[in-house]
Amino acid sequence: MKEKLSFKQSVTVASMLFGMFFGAGNLIFPVHMGQLAGSNVWPAIIGFIITGVGLPLLGVAALGVSRSDGLKQLSARTGKAYSYFFTCALYLTIGPFFAIPRCATVPFAVGLAPLFPSAGALPLAVFTFVFFAVVLFFSLKPNGILTWIGKVLNPVFLVFLAVLVLRALISPLAPVSSVTPDASYQSGAFFRGFLEGYNTMDALAGLAFGIVVVNVIRSLGVNEPGAVAASTIRSGVFTCAIMAVIYIAVTVVGVQSRGLFEISENGGIALADISSHYFGRGGTVILTVTVAFACLKTAIGLVTSCAKSFTEMFPRSPGYRFWAILFSVFSFLIANVGLTAIIEYAIPVLMFLYPLAITLILLSLFGRFFGYDRAVYVSVTAFTLFAAIFDLIAALPQGVKDALSLGVVTDAAAKYLPLYSLGLGWICPAAVGLALGIVLHITRKSKKTV
């Protein structure tokens, strides 16, 4: 039995990790964060990297350490019903509710939306119809397109991105220190960046797809749980470094763009403005094409993964083809609300799911210290879930909160939940749940000993 991967094998796993986690959507959030953060960009970047890079790698490592065969088994330590709820919620979030529709709207926002400023919803409808027709076609026969796009178009995308970023960094539109932060980043920039990293959805993706990485490592001869986790993290260092460099560079470019542009409605528009400024219409066309194909690959992978997962979870369902068609059609409908709306409504869901994902990851990584006792899992998850509901409510669009008269709820949460104003109201309840769970574990262990 091997104790670790070779250098070449580590690079191979790192490449796969990068391909899984990094898509075009990962660009729109750091560039927009840069525009908002201004001169307070550095603490924001640190917070963003923790949730956008660190957590996904820990999620993959958690699957390796806990010897789980996937997210459903990993979350089943809390309970069977909860494992179905959490697995479905997570896959739907990184699937047809938000991530897959976002794959279609990002390339449209980057390149095509500026060409049809007053054409209404028709251009988006036409583009997304064609996009999801292609997605569905290849989701039913995914092997060839995934290989071709992964080997050809991802490198093209990264090369063009490197050219754009280097051009922008060499000829900045404004020095970082001169850009006034938006009101939302005047204070607490680290925590704002931390929460902004939720939007990448990569920690959720790490839990959903991490078993693929773990199985690859095991197939290479590393089977001991600690060695699997170590090999995953060792390979992840390469991925982490590349992603962190890209995030830092793109965020700084976003800050510098404020020398010419106002804060954009979303990062897709910002990226289009920056590309057009430095390379004209030709640069925008190239960016649009490469982003479209990168998003196409991601969408095909997500539809395929979600359809396979639901087929396995519900064996009496009509089967893979049914789920693939359903998710493609539903994603098409959601995509037509537009990128800004998708991001706006994804935030409350992510504010709810991320605390549950973070605590599950940490419990799985350190579960051996309390024997993976279900009492600890249940206690931490129950307290976290309760608090995460309030974080979800706080992140709802103001119009929704007003319509549902939720002001009383948010006021009460702000009064009694520490860190609630920072969007981290779940941390203290989770700590209380952990303490209670550990006490229950020790008590039960003592009774068994007696």
Over residues 178-205, the pLDDT tens digits come to 999 999 999 999 999 999 999 989 888 8
Query: What is the b/e burial string over 153-183, where b = at least 16 CB atoms within 10 angstroms of the residue's CB?
Result: bbeebbebbeebbebbeeeebeebeebebbe
pLDDT greater than 70 at residue 142: no
Residues 219 and 271 in one domain: yes
Q: How confident is the model over 240-246, as a mean pLDDT?
A: 87
Residue 341, in any domain of the structure = yes
pLDDT value of position 384:
97
Percent of the residues in the chain that have a pLDDT greater than 70, as a whole number: 94
Contacts of residue 42, defined as CB under 8 A and 6 or more positions apart, other chains included, come to: none
Asked if 270 contacts 67 with a C-beta cutoff of 8 angstroms, the reply is: no
Residues 150 and 272 in one domain: yes
Which one of 297, 313, 348 terminates a domain? 348
pLDDT value of position 1:
55
Q: Is the dihedral of CA 179, 180, 184, 185 positive or negative?
A: positive
Q: Which of 80-94, 123-137, 216-230, 400-414 has the lowest mean pLDDT?
A: 216-230
What are the backbone dihedrals phi and psi of residue 422, each rounded to the nearest 5 degrees, phi first? -90, 0
Between the CA of residue 203 and those of 59, 234, 396, what are the distances in Å? 6, 18, 21
Residues 160 and 263 in one domain: yes
Q: Within 13 A of 272's CA, how many CA atoms are on the CB side?
A: 21
pLDDT value of position 162:
86
Residues 162 and 289 in one domain: yes
Q: How confident is the model over 37-41, as a mean pLDDT?
A: 96
Residues 78 and 145 in one domain: yes
Domain residues for the domain of 378 are 366-450
Which one of 320, 348, 376 terminates a domain? 348
pLDDT greater than 60 at residue 211: yes
Rg of the chain (C-alpha set)? 22
pLDDT value of position 119:
66
pLDDT greater than 60 at residue 450: no
Residues 447 and 343 in one domain: no
Residue 154, in any domain of the structure = yes
pLDDT value of position 62:
82
CATH number at residue 59: 1.20.1740.10
Residues 224 and 336 in one domain: yes
Residue 358, in any domain of the structure = no
Residues 194 and 249 in one domain: yes
pLDDT greater than 90 at residue 226: no
CA nearest 275: which of 288, 266, 293?
A: 288
In DSSP notation, 83-139 reads: HHHHHHHHHHIIIIITHHHHHHHHHIIIIIGGG-TTSTTHHHHHHHHHHHHHHHHHH
Q: How confident is the model over 244-273, as a mean pLDDT?
A: 91
pLDDT value of position 24:
66
pLDDT value of position 152:
66
Residue 1, in any domain of the structure = no
Q: Is the dihedral of CA 412, 416, 419, 425 positive or negative?
A: negative
Residue 359, in any domain of the structure = no
CA nearest 346: which of 159, 95, 112, 141?
A: 95
The count of structural domains within the chain is: 2
pLDDT greater than 80 at residue 424: yes
pLDDT value of position 346:
92
Residue 19 pLDDT level (bands cut at 50, 70, 90)? confident
Q: How confident is the model over 71-91, as a mean pLDDT?
A: 92
The C-alpha atoms of residue 123 and residue 136 are separated, in whole angstroms, by: 20
The C-alpha atoms of residue 408 and residue 205 are separated, in whole angstroms, by: 34
Residue 2, in any domain of the structure = no
Query: What is the b/e burial string over 308-323, where b = at least 16 CB atoms within 10 angstroms of the residue's CB?
Result: ebbbeeeeeeeebeeb
Residues 380 and 343 in one domain: no
Residue 88, in any domain of the structure = yes
pLDDT value of position 93:
94
In DSSP notation, 245-260 reads: HHHHHHHHHHHHGGGT
pLDDT value of position 185:
95
The C-alpha atoms of residue 399 and residue 86 are separated, in whole angstroms, by: 27
* pTM of the complete model: 0.88
pLDDT value of position 100:
92
Q: What is the mean pLDDT of the chain?
A: 86
pLDDT greater than 60 at residue 149: no
Residue 356, in any domain of the structure = no
Residues 278 and 391 in one domain: no
Q: Which residue has the higher pLDDT, 446 or 163?
A: 163
Residue 262 pLDDT level (bands cut at 50, 70, 90)? very high
